[in-house]
Chains A and B, each alone.
Chain A
Amino acid sequence: MTPVATPFFFYLLSGLALLGGILVITRKNAVHSALALILTLLALAGLYLMLYAPFVAGVQIILYAGGIMVLFLFVIMLVSIEKSQREDQFNKQWIGGLVGAVALGALFVRVFVRSKALHDLTGMPMAQLPEQSNTQEIAVYLYGNYMLAFEIASLLLLVAIIGAVVMAKKRI
């Protein structure tokens, strides 16, 4: 296995992901936020590749960055953004939000760094999951053990389609 998971790539990609994440929540213009979110999604796809998940990385780009975000941009174009841009972007809860976020972050860092289970496991080398057969093995899981979850997800999509049509209709 070629060592693609070098620290350089990790820091580069996570830096991009963080930059995108911060831009998403600070930009005034919704289009800029959406583009920043796409940056985060692409950086995450790179990180998935480093974690031996090429299939997920591909789906991330095709479905998330390509599908969902286009839907977002489409709706942003549909509603008028000029007007909403002139309005105040942040509410008065930002102090509470920041305090909550810092507390949450402290909790995460504490748990992830201190967690016993992780310490035991991070000592070992990261799994060298086979990359070539990744998609095949995921297929075996999807149509094997997780068949029910996979099939019932189609019902979820049906509900979503019906819901989207009902809500977007002018009158019912």
Chain B
Amino acid sequence: MVPISYYLVLSGILFGCGVVGFLIKRNIISIFMSIELMLNGVNLSFVAFAAQWHALSGQVFVFLVMVVAAAEAAVGLAIIIAVYRNRETLNVDQVNLLKL
């Protein structure tokens, strides 16, 4: 049996990968994918904690988080298209104001 803390470490690493990607990437879509990676790290820890506490509510939260992620994806990709139309580029350094 694998202890819960292994799952948590994995979720932490995935979240960390997302943070790194967010900080170092320059393509807006890649940055957005890094955010999805972070959310998945969170979801894994929700499921792991649900197993730890014998509480199904943790799995319900994952479901709700996925709904939120879907909403975010729809809006975010529409905004990306709007930016692309204005600037013809998705590179944050050329999208002038975006000094992330």
Contacts and interface: CB of A to CB of B under 8 A. Distances in A.
- Report if A and B touch in the complex (beta carbons < 8 A): yes
Interface string A87-105: 1111101101110110011
Instruction: Please classify how large the interface on chain B is, using the bins under 10, 10 to 19, 20 to 34, 35 or more.
Output: 35 or more
Interface of B: 1-10, 12-21, 23-27, 29-30, 32-34, 36-37, 40, 43-44, 47-48, 50-54, 56-57, 59-60, 62-64, 66-75, 77-82, 84-85, 89-94, 100
B8 to A, nearest CB: 5
Interface of A: 3, 5, 7, 10, 14, 17-18, 21-22, 24-25, 30, 33-34, 37, 40-41, 44, 47-48, 50-53, 55-56, 59-60, 63-64, 67-68, 71-72, 74-76, 78-79, 83-84, 87-91, 93-94, 96-98, 100-101, 104-105, 108-109, 112-113, 115, 118, 121-122, 125-127, 129, 134, 137-138, 141-142, 145-146, 149-150, 153, 156-157, 159-161, 163-168, 170
B64 to A, nearest CB: 6
A102 to B, nearest CB: 9
B12 A109 contact: yes
Contacts of A98: 20
A94 B55 CA distance: 39
Main secondary structure of the interface of B (DSSP, over half): helix
Given A34-B33, A101-B20, A17 B52 contact: no
B16 A75 contact: no
A21 B18 CA distance: 8
